Amino acid sequence: MNDLPPDLPRLRTLETWLLLTLDEVRRAITAAEQRDAERQTGLERRPPPPDWLLELGLNRDAPPVQVHCGDCWNSGKRVKGISRDEALRALADGVKACGACRPDSELGFLDG
């Protein structure tokens, strides 16, 4: 089955169109490869997650809500990474320990 036109002018037109289309496809492939390479570089350079999280209040004047382990599934969106000492200090200052990940147990913090 041959769907190509029989005359030379239309064959040349078709050839030109195919070359232009092939160039567009190659540019799209190059751009996609670049995006994938940048995504991979971003994943490789991503800093490690913090060991401890402090869940902040609803506004900047509100006190912190909870202390979490760094990988806690129950931490909210308003969290910031903190050091071990900061986590211990927050617990000592009365910030609640998350009931799901139990950072107080992980830190060896004994209340009272």
Question: Are 60 and 99 contained in the same domain?
Answer: yes
Residue 111 pLDDT > 70? no
Would 112 be classed as within a structural domain? no
Kind plus residue range of the DSSP H or E element containing 53 = strand 52-55
Range of the structural domain that residue 92 is part of: 52-107
Can you read off the two tokens belonging to residue 34?
């670049």
100: helix, strand or coil: coil
Kind plus residue range of the DSSP H or E element containing 12 = helix 8-45
Would 86 be classed as within a structural domain? yes
Would 73 be classed as within a structural domain? yes
What's the residue count for the chain? 112
pLDDT, tens digit (0-9, with 9 covering 90-100), for 10-68:
999 999 999 999 999 999 999 999 999 999 999 999 988 899 999 998 888 889 999 99
Residue 112 pLDDT > 80? no
Q: How far apart, in whole angstroms, are the C-alpha atoms of residue 78 and residue 73? A: 13
Would 1 be classed as within a structural domain? no
CA nearest to 107, candidates 82, 84, 89, 90 = 84
Q: What is the pLDDT of residue 109?
A: 83
Q: What is the pLDDT of residue 75?
A: 86
Q: What is the pLDDT of residue 1?
A: 47
